[in-house]
Structure 1
Amino acid sequence: MSWAFFIDESGQDQRNSPYEVLAGVAVKDRELWRLIRQISDAQQHYFGMRLFEAYGHEAKATKLLNAKTFRLAAQMDPIASDERTRLAHEILLDGTAASRPRLTALAQAKIAYCQFVLQLAENHGAKVFGTMVPRAAPRPPRADALRKDYAFLFERFFYFLNGLPDTPMGYLVFDELDRSACHILLGQVASYFIRTKNGRTRSRLIIPEPFFVHSDMTTLVQLADIVAYVMSWGLRLPRMDEPAREELAPLVWRVERMKFSRTLDSGERQSGIMQIRDLRPAGAT
């Protein structure tokens, strides 16, 4: 048995998002295909078609869950499921055929779909990890240095694997960036797992060479994208000052239910979600 660790980010532009988030969703290998198939079926149920067919690219959470979506969803009473799907499908097929009922139905379908996808992930035993970084956080001075948020994510994924029966292996799946960015990240990850003591310890359970996939075609990277967005705009830890969007509370609740958390015999509590105020690795300050 092994666990796949799907990683995506939100707010990396450091402009509009309140927090820069790096999110990871761990899924057991035996659950992967069933979860993927059920998410695909959910798209057919809520939209009458696959979202990639509708948009020609990944349906990002910034489009599914932005404030405009919630505003449009609230402009009419909840629409019955079958009618909602029909109207949402019509506007996805022809964007020029906009009407108040169709726009409302599509917005309500987007929110319901995201809520259901998070519920599916929880039903399949998925675990959530993530880092939340203020926009003003100091950055590493060197391009070859692995940021502290990545190191934290690998640490907590290792803790999770190490606490399971038979200590299964895990592997990393990243959203593919442009080719040069992938090479830079690949070098940083390899350096961490090969040249640092902590990295070498964690490479016992985490395969050090990550996979890069096109998020347009990879359902569970899109799931990690939804988790990252919900964390950035809706989840708040102690001593976090940026306001949260209240309408995201039901989705935040789902994310928090999947958060990795355990208490050691020593009483130390390990959490899969943490705020990081300085992205520079140890010794870089």
Structure 2
Amino acid sequence: MTAILSASELMNELAGSRPPVLLDIRWQLGGPDQRPAYEAGHLPSAVYVDLDRELAGPAGSGGRHPLPEPEAFGAAMRRAGVSADTAVVVYDGGLGWAAARAWWLLRWTGHGNVRVLDGGLAAWTAAGGAVSADAVSPVEGDFKPSPGALGLLDADAAAALARSGLLLDARAGARYRGEVEPIDRVGGHIPGAVSAPTSENVGPDGRFLPTRALHSRFAELGATGDTRVGVYCGSGVSGAHQVLALEVAGIRSALYAGSWSEWSSDPSRPVATGPLP
């Protein structure tokens, strides 16, 4: 099962006898609620899922977007029509971060058939896909989460992996180097982590680079052979997109979900700055 699919592939599946459940995960960091945008036009039959309320727990010591309680997440997915034996396709406005967060959570909690629409809503409309403003009332699903299917790191495990394996920092390079920090307490990175901005996994159209190109990119960063790979970002959202990109490249990785927002909130944790790990 591939982790992503194209707009044309999704069109074919929606025309089939068992169409996938569609989840609209549009979201903007620090931006307005995207439900009005969803209501103005979404993929036909897609259900809106709120990242801040349904794909994250309350902000606090675990970072800005800590993982939701599994049962709360499962209830949200059941309300959206997700069942254990149904295919799920998630999409967002095109950046891919929010859709990847939903993909990661579903995969981590044991759903085996979930994919991201490559390029999101923009790719769908560019391919001639229809949008609808109709209200959607999904049939209640039966999905029950069983966490642990994907790798998950806490702060101590992330620090250890930065020393013994490969820990990738998915944020913009300027934040990694500590030149700017618009959100968190302090700029910089986890000592030993390697800068790998998520933006470099996609082309100008927001779609993932070809598998071979992604594999080469990660190999150059050190993801070779049996190297254990971990990922973090600001708060566990764009990091999920990096995990997805690694999956497309055929490389398994673990997510430090608390990410820099959790790490930097503790003054006792070390902080590195500059371009080197």
TM-score by length of 1: 0.26
Q: Which has the larger radius of gyration?
A: 1
TM-score by length of 2: 0.27
Bigger relative CO (Cα 8 Å, ≥ 6 apart): 1
Return the structure number with greater helix share: 1
